[in-house]
Structure 1
Amino acid sequence: MEQIIEKMVQESPYNVHLFVHNLTTNQLLTSHQLETAFSSASVIKVPILIALLSYIEHNKLSLDTTLPISPDDWVDFSVISEQRLTQSTLYDLLVWMIITSDNTATNVLIDEVGMSFLNDYFRHIGLQDTVLQRKMMDVERLAQGIDNRTSARDMAHLFTRIYRQELLTAPYSQLVIDILSRQRVHDSLKRYLVEDVKLAHKTGGLDTVDHDVGIVYSSTIDYSIGVFMTNVMDNEQARQLIGRLSKVVYAQLVEGKEGHS
């Protein structure tokens, strides 16, 4: 498996960061550019989800608490904006932020707790390279080189702690896994998997990056996998490569046969 993955990474026209971690045995099976930080795109919404649930828990808030949404908050590619919602529950905002990567929901949640709280929480749970420096769809700050960052190492660490349910109390820990498992975007890690695989994951993409990271649950093994592409020129090609890498790993770990690139 490692040799096939290494060959695919070397032949990729794009910059690849990845990890595969056997969660059943707690063994890092393979990695590439583990510690190099890159533009996080929407995968940063996973630590935001956990930080918000920690905030809700700590402050004894209800998930049914309603937050106001200003029309100024509406951004493109958002089911919140499509519905012209002017309020929403914390629960709905958290779910939409993950399962459709809703940017309006994300920005309302960022405003609720503040970037400083989020960045402090990221450091508190052991994320070394993950930093939130702009809201979603803030193209002006992005044009100035101000971006949200993470690393494969941080995502491997985060998803291990999610799997072990170490970050929140049991009900909220399970809620995180449930929401990630309801993801509606399946054009990368799940792309070429024939079986109906349980995958708790989050994608992220910009014009020059494509990411997908999550936990694969099976009857024989649970593992986390993250593939992060930077310097992307063709997003569709990048998502296909993530899918091919994922299939090689799944074939080896779950089906017990050597995958082919």
Structure 2
Amino acid sequence: MKTLVNKIRSLTEQSSGTWGIVLEDLDTGEKWVTNGDELFYAASVIKVPIMAAVFSAAERAELALTDPLILKEEDFVGGSGVLQHLTPGMSLSIKDIVMLMIIQSDNTATNILIDQVGVEHIVQTMEEAGMEKSTFYNKLMMNNPNPKGFNQITANDIGKLLTLMATGELVSEKASKQMIAMMKKQQIKDCLPEKLPSPYSNFNNGMPPWELAHKTGWIPGTRHDVGIFYVGERKLIATVLSKEEDDLVSKQILAQIGEEIYNYLQ
């Protein structure tokens, strides 16, 4: 992993921003951390522990993923996602709402789920996953944030959450597999997977097949991508957080990091 680390260091050292990174090779046990406990505004990466909280509530039979929820106009918020553009009164299952939160980063879906499971349960889920320094206070796209603070994450905390998921220990083995399957379907692919070979051509050009179960997060000046790389038979956890950097530069660096990880794993 030393060569990979040196290449990523050279990329981030060119940046004027701050980077928090955790890489963990689940096959060799090697791990590299830089600025692991640095706090970053969570942006949409907070949707991963929210998803875990929903699956946890389902595991305890407090809700069922098949339960229908009615879309209400007062639920609508701006930013990413399609629900805000749909017709109030339509019914969606909780599982479908989680899917939209993850694959389209839908903010309306996120807030509906926060109301469904509650802030306290989300915080409890984060604590149970070992997320010691991260915080969750606020629904998304709200005008009046909680005066207690903001939604914040660290690379170490997200790395712990992803490792539990990858090893089948986040909520349960079944729940972990379902969450990974959702994250593999993410439609925002302009960060870590941007420079990876087309998954449809891997077998034709001799490149090993790959999948990435991941979640991006972005607000101006802050850009993250976190996930689990599957390349051939290899698995690697990658948590890459950035702040105080030009948005185009951070996107380019994330894409290059994703390419270096793929090259390392193949």
Q: For residues 35-91 of structure 1, what are the alpha-carbon distances to aligned partners after superposition, in whole Å with 9 as ceiling and x for unaligned?
A: 111111111111110111010110263321012332111012321111124342101
Question: Residue 257 of structure 1 aligns with which residue?
Answer: none
Residues 176-185 or 4-13, more deviating: 4-13
CA distance in 2 between partners of 1:145 and 1:238 (Å): 29
> Is the counterpart of residue 119 in structure 1 residue 132 in structure 2?
no
Q: For residues 167-224 of structure 1, what are the alpha-carbon distances to aligned partners after superposition, in whole Å with 9 as ceiling and x for unaligned?
A: 2333322111100000000000001111423000000001120000001112241101
Q: Match of 1:71, as an amino acid?
A: E
Q: Which residue of 213, 216, 221 maps to 1:208? A: 221
SS of structure 1 residue aligned to 2:16: coil
Q: Which residue of 63, 66, 76 maps to 2:65? A: 63
Question: Residue 43 of structure 1 aligns with which residue?
Answer: 45
Change (3 A) 1:206 1:139: farther
- How far does residue 253 in structure 1 lie from its aligned partner after superposition? 2.6
Question: Residue 178 of structure 1 aligns with which residue?
Answer: 181
CA distance in 2 between partners of 1:146 and 1:140 (Å): 11
Q: Match of 1:153, as an amino acid?
A: N
- How far does residue 145 in structure 1 lie from its aligned partner after superposition? 8.6
SS of structure 1 residue aligned to 2:259: helix
Q: Structure 2: any 5+ residue segments left out of the alignment?
A: 200-209
Q: Provide TM-score, normalisation by structure 1.
A: 0.91
Question: Residue 230 of structure 1 aligns with which residue?
Answer: 243
Q: State the Cα RMSD in Å.
A: 1.7
CA distance in 2 between partners of 1:217 and 1:240 (Å): 21
Matched residues, number? 251
Question: Residue 105 of structure 2 aligns with which residue?
Answer: 101
Question: Residue 192 of structure 2 aligns with which residue?
Answer: 189
CA distance in 2 between partners of 1:32 and 1:139 (Å): 33
**Are the equivalent residues in 1 in contact too, given 2:134–2:157 (CA < 8 A)?**
yes
Percentage of matched positions with identical amino acids:
28
Change (3 A) 1:10 1:145: farther
- How far does residue 112 in structure 1 lie from its aligned partner after superposition? 1.0
Question: Residue 251 of structure 1 aligns with which residue?
Answer: 263
Q: Provide TM-score, normalisation by structure 2.
A: 0.89
CA distance in 2 between partners of 1:89 and 1:54 (Å): 16
> Is the counterpart of residue 198 in structure 1 residue 199 in structure 2?
no
Change (3 A) 1:4 1:203: same
Change (3 A) 1:204 1:247: same
Q: Which residue of 78, 81, 92 maps to 1:88? A: 92
CA distance in 2 between partners of 1:42 and 1:58 (Å): 26
Q: Match of 1:181, as an amino acid?
A: K
Q: For residues 105-158 of structure 1, what are the alpha-carbon distances to aligned partners after superposition, in whole Å with 9 as ceiling and x for unaligned?
A: 00010011211111122112211122211111124328x793201100011111
CA distance in 2 between partners of 1:106 and 1:50 (Å): 12
**Are the equivalent residues in 1 in contact too, given 2:104–2:188 (CA < 8 A)?**
yes
CA distance in 1 between partners of 2:157 and 2:27 (Å): 19
Question: Residue 150 of structure 2 aligns with which residue?
Answer: 147
CA distance in 2 between partners of 1:68 and 1:78 (Å): 17
CA distance in 1 between partners of 2:120 and 2:244 (Å): 29
SS of structure 2 residue aligned to 1:245: helix
